[in-house]
Amino acid sequence: MSGMGDVRAEDERTPRVEPEPLLQIRDLQVDFTTMHGSVRAVEDASLSLEAGRTLAVVGESGSGKSTTAMAAIGLLAGNGKVTGGSIRFNGQDLVGLPESRMRDIRGRQIGLVPQDPMSNLNPVSRIGTQVAETLLTHRLATRRDVDARVVEVLEAAGIPEAGRRSRQYPHELSGGLRQRALIAVALACRPRLLIADEPTSALDVTVQQVILDQIEQMTQELGTAILLITHDLGLAAERAQDLVVMHRGKVVESGPAAQLLEDPQHPYTRSLVRAAPSVAAVRLAPEAFTGARGEDHPAPAQREGHPGARPLPDGGTAGALPASAPVRAEDGRGWGRGAGADTEPLVTITDLTKVYPVRGGDDFYAARNVSLEIPRGTTVSIVGESGSGKTTTARMLLRLIEPTSGSITFDGRDVLTLDRRELRDFRQRVQAVFQDPYSSLNPMFTVGRIIEEPLIAYKRGGARERRDRVVELMDQVALPSSMHRRYPAELSGGQRQRVAIARALALRPELIVCDEPVSALDVLVQDQILTLLGDLQQELGLSYLFISHDLAVVRLISDYVCVMKDGELVEAATSEEIFTNPRHAYTRRLLASIPGNELGIETGVA
């Protein structure tokens, strides 16, 4: 092996107490040149990371966390520049280091695991080649032994059949495997520091856990320090010893993870701790485990941590909330029928199935025999990873997709056999809020026009009354009415989602289907939207079908939870049951992958 000196240095490193941290960033300042002049992305940021440890930088989008990391590896975008401060790595300042010297450090001493495994591999090059490149460049392999080394590295990253995989192209691999390949690339040269920039945000929750474990295990073996960049406070706290919280380009707080979470000092950190679903879920865990069980309203109890969330009216206003804990049923039905429910559930879905024929293969079941109920005034969530069939189920309920078989009743009527007039009626009583607030609003219409559209379509009132109603609706979702002549493009993500909610409310519906309504939003905004949805439910007695991939979010809002996997409903129960006493192995796996869940508990996940 050629890099003998380095290897010995690594061996000696662990026992010796280092006089200087491995990475020390002091008063870092990064500016971006744009058409509108210079924009400061990072200001006076300082952090330090000792060898072999993990430090997480937490912040929302635009906080400068990624920029800080990219500055450390010298990969700022073309128009970005470090304009102040120092980045000391392994005893030398990286700021102003010539590019040729930087090249020797990148890949060799500092590895990078990027965010999106879909876009970070060269699409026209084989996986093996992409690992080999880095080994050859840093002379850790020769042309002769490189193939064997590549397979070794891929195997170490947990890629099965590494030999075959190395000859494949990125598009032939799943997201999880691609991320493993990227980890293999990043750690191939046994770097001293690994920068992991949101390494799992683009992956399904259960895969996230495994990938993070993989990184942890490999870096432990190699003694590599990790600089973890993430928006998820819970994940950061679980994986890192120390945290740095960034906000709008500045470091607002830093310190040991536990301390920072227990006793946040800065108001921003406090709001972040409060809003982060995964953390909030943990904070509420004791209540959920013990106290809430005896109460009548388990789920909303978890909303207490939120400013503005109102306590649930005691059985009254929401009306149809079952008096006692509903009976759990394995097939996902009948929880509303528990103690002689006096009202029919608003929606009953029975054996709903959607089959897509596949040419020359087995038929694809997007949903198979899904059965569930939505009691009036409650929130029922469907949780699952991508491809689980949760969205298909929701769209069948919305009559956007025709089911292959099964039945749906809404307020006692069969939804699938509605005639024209009945369908018209149904459409007014069931509304939807979609995931992507950027594409769910017609960009050509003003906010006012978008909210008014349902009123026009169903001829509710004259122009004047409609206008008044729009103002009222905007007020309800806490949008200033002065905004009604603006266009969606001029609004922030959260504002747009409020517009979408206002539109859904316009016809005073009874059921709103929310398809991942907050997954495209930042943590704090996410929290605000969830609170708004909760408030509206109280006020208007709405029922929600809430679709999400994020159990932590679901926990904050649901009365009942259905877990879906590969088109089938594997478990359905009250929110309390699911979170305290999950029965199905998959549910347990999902629960285990909520990052914060393991905090303070020393149990490993299989």
Partner 1 sequence: MFRLIGNRLLLLAPTIIGLSVLLFLWVRALPGGPATALLGDKATPEAVARVNEAYGFDRPILEQYFIYMGRILSGDFGNSLLTSRPVLEEFAARFPATLELTAFALLFAVGFGIPLGYWAARNVGRWQDQAAVLLSLMGVVVPVFFLAFILKWVFAVQLGWLPTDGRQDPRIDATHYTNFFVWDGMITGEYDAAWDALTHLVLPGVALGTIPLAIIARITRASVLEVQNADYVRTARAKGLAPRLIRNRFVMRNALLPVTTTLGLQLGLLISGAVLTETVFAFNGIGSFLWDAIFNLDFPVLQGFIIFIAVIYSLINLLVDVSYGLIDPRVRVS
Partner 2 sequence: MSVNLPPAAGGPTGDLTPGGSPAPDPASGGLLPGTTGTVVAAGPGRDDGGPVKGTSVWKDAFLRLRRNPAAIAGAVIVALFLLVAVLAPLIAPYPGEAVPGAREITPGHIPGPGELPQFPLGLDRFGGDVLSKLIWGAQSSLMIGVVSTALGLAGGMVLGLLAGAFGGWVDGVVMRIVDILLSVPNLLLAVSIAAVLGQGPYAVMIAIGVSQVPIFARLLRSSMLSQKSADYVLAAQTLGLSRRTITMSHVLPNSVGPVIVQATLTLATAVIDAAALSFLGLGGGRPETAEWGRMLTYAQSELGIAPWLAFLPGLCIAVTALGFTLLGESLREALDPKSRAR
Contact stretch for partner 2 (CB under 8 A) within 31-39, 83-91, 205-213, 329-337: 31-39
Residue 119 interacting entry, from partner 1, partner 2, none, C-beta within 5 to 8 Å by type? partner 1
Residue 133 interacting entry, from partner 2, partner 1, none, C-beta within 5 to 8 Å by type? partner 1
Is residue 130 within 8 Å of 120, Cβ to Cβ? no
Shortest distance, position 165 Cβ to partner 2, whole Å: 27
Q: Which is nearer to partner 2, 197 or 577 (CB)?
A: 197
Which residues inside 172-211 make contact with partner 2, applying CB under 8 A? 197-198
Phi, psi for 135 (deg, rounded to 5): -65, -45
CA distances from 224 to 47, 110, 133 (A): 17, 9, 21
Q: How many C-beta atoms surround the C-beta of residue 139 within 10 A?
A: 12
Instruction: Name the residue with tokens 């409060």.
Output: 274
Residue 432 interacting entry, from partner 1, partner 2, none, C-beta within 5 to 8 Å by type? partner 2
Q: How many C-beta atoms surround the C-beta of residue 338 within 10 A?
A: 17
What single DSSP character describes residue 317? T
Q: How many C-beta atoms surround the C-beta of residue 369 within 10 A?
A: 16
Which residues inside 185-204 make contact with partner 1, applying CB under 8 A? 185-186
The Cα–Cα gap between 225 and 56 comes to: 11
Which residues inside 36-95 make contact with partner 1, applying CB under 8 A? 73, 75, 77-78
Query: Dihedral angle at the C-alpha atoms of 313, 319, 324, 329, nearest 10 degrees?
Result: -130
Determine if 138 is a binding residue for partner 1 (CB under 8 A): yes
Which residues inside 408-447 make contact with partner 2, applying CB under 8 A? 423-424, 426-428, 430-432, 434-436, 438-444, 446-447
Shortest distance, position 335 Cβ to partner 2, whole Å: 26
Q: What is the DSSP string of 236-291?
A: HHHH-SEEEEEETTEEEEEEEHHHHHHS--SHHHHHHHHH-HHHHHHHHHHIIIII
Query: Dihedral angle at the C-alpha atoms of 321, 324, 329, 332, nearest 10 degrees?
Result: 10
The Cα–Cα gap between 145 and 28 comes to: 41
Shortest distance, position 174 Cβ to partner 1, whole Å: 15
Determine if 491 is a binding residue for partner 1 (CB under 8 A): no
Determine if 155 is a binding residue for partner 1 (CB under 8 A): no
Contact stretch for partner 1 (CB under 8 A) within 134-142, 204-212, 268-276, 356-364: 134-142
Binds partner 2 by CB under 8 A, chosen from 10, 133, 453, 566: 453
Shortest distance, position 454 Cβ to partner 2, whole Å: 5
Binds partner 1 by CB under 8 A, chosen from 8, 139, 164, 171: 171
Determine if 495 is a binding residue for partner 2 (CB under 8 A): yes
Binds partner 2 by CB under 8 A, chosen from 232, 522, 535, 577: 522
Secondary structure, 3-state, 425-490? HHHHHEEEECCCCCCCCCCCCCHHHHHHHHHHHCCCCCHHHHHHHHHHHHHHCCCCHHHHHCCHHH
Determine if 268 is a binding residue for partner 2 (CB under 8 A): yes
Here's the x/- map for partner 2, 61-90, by CB under 8 A: it reads as xxxxxxx-xx----xxxxxx----------
Q: Which residues bind partner 1 (CB under 8 A)?
A: 73, 75, 77-78, 103-108, 110-112, 114, 116, 119-125, 133-134, 137-138, 169, 171-172, 182, 185-186
